[in-house]
Structure 1
């Protein structure tokens, strides 16, 4: 893993082709459903000398949900779950970033789903910085955070014969981010 360097300071844009913003949750109490959102935009402002001055903004297009089941994806876009026509975006805007130790951060921020905003804290690991074959400087970050979907108004469910529920309220959010540094003309 790369150490935090001054190369990390600056503005970074998520590379959607190499970034996965996903989720997993229990289905029928016996297996997991996994999915991701394919249309995302994100910006990181990193300040290595003072991580408290760093920030993250993420926008996810709800209609881009992909669970490898077109029928399930259509259901997830309805009012039963995300209500994509009325709430087309999920957003996250950081409010504070704390460095726990070298390469480990807690990104605190406002997560908005279905018009409901809640403060969440996401543990994030800095994976490293490398220059790719095209000459772009890339940074990698990974993390996950469990949320309760009911707190965001995502309430649909159906009872199982066993007494359990079809869909768990607990959802694991998964972040695998490849970000490309925005280099100024003077900095090249």
Structure 2
């Protein structure tokens, strides 16, 4: 009797799981149409912006249930570009990102909550400079899927967040004679993602 109940429960689980798995979709982040931009204060008087030019990853969903979305993204730290070669070299050095030791920046979502019409709070683990911290992205989208000229289905979304670079061990700074510091601690992040359905 016990084995019969176990088999019945197992069959019930499988009958539920198969339709869900059948509906699962995977979207590939398109690096050519995705941008990751950051902004940080310089000498307390202006903002410096930069981008990471190499981003990859996937977005998986089970049907149309938002809570099932999982975002898994990787950024190549050495692809940083602030349009100043000397500054980029400094940012890649051990005083900042130390890209030789920590070549990748990763984000993996852990929870998604609706925050309005087509607006979401996406919580996830950001690993930067070898340190993993929980961060929250404010996301707009995704857009309704559209078909490109080559028959691919595409969708897009944008996201913003702020982090304190010191939380990730990025503590390099210099005091200014007039007060304040050379580099701000708060970093604003802006992301625009375009993804292709696989």
Q: Could you say whether these structures have the same fold, taking a TM-score greater than 0.5 normalized by the shorter chain as the test? A: yes
From 170, 177, 181, give the equivalent of 1:165: 181
What is the match of residue 38 of structure 2? 23
| Aligned position for 1:109 | 124
CA drift of 1:178 comes to: 0.7
SS at match of 2:141: strand
Distance across 1 between alignment mates of 2:42 and 2:154: 36
Aligned length: 175
| 1:37-93 per-position Cα deviation (integer Å, ceiling 9, x unaligned) | 111112111345322211000101111101101111110001111010111111101
**Greater relative contact order (Cα 8 A, min sep 6): structure 1 or 2?**
1
| TM-score, normalised with respect to structure 1 | 0.88
Work out the CA distance in 2 between the residues paired with 1:49 and 1:177: 19
Q: Compute the displacement of 1:181 (Å).
A: 0.8
Give the C-alpha shift of residue 156 in structure 1. Answer: 0.5
Alignment map for 1:45-124 (pairs within 5 Å): 45-47=60-62, 49-124=64-139
Deviation, structure 1 residue 10 = 1.6
If the length of structure 2 is used for normalisation, what is the TM-score?
0.84
Match of 2:169 among 138, 153, 156: 153
List alignment gaps of at least 5 residues for structure 2.
1-23
Unpaired runs of 5+ residues, structure 1, are 1-8, 183-188
Quick one: distance in 2 between partners of 1:146 and 1:100? Answer: 17
Closer/same/farther in 2, CA of residues 47 and 103 from structure 1, 3 Å limit? farther
Tell me the SS of whatever aligns to 1:147.
strand
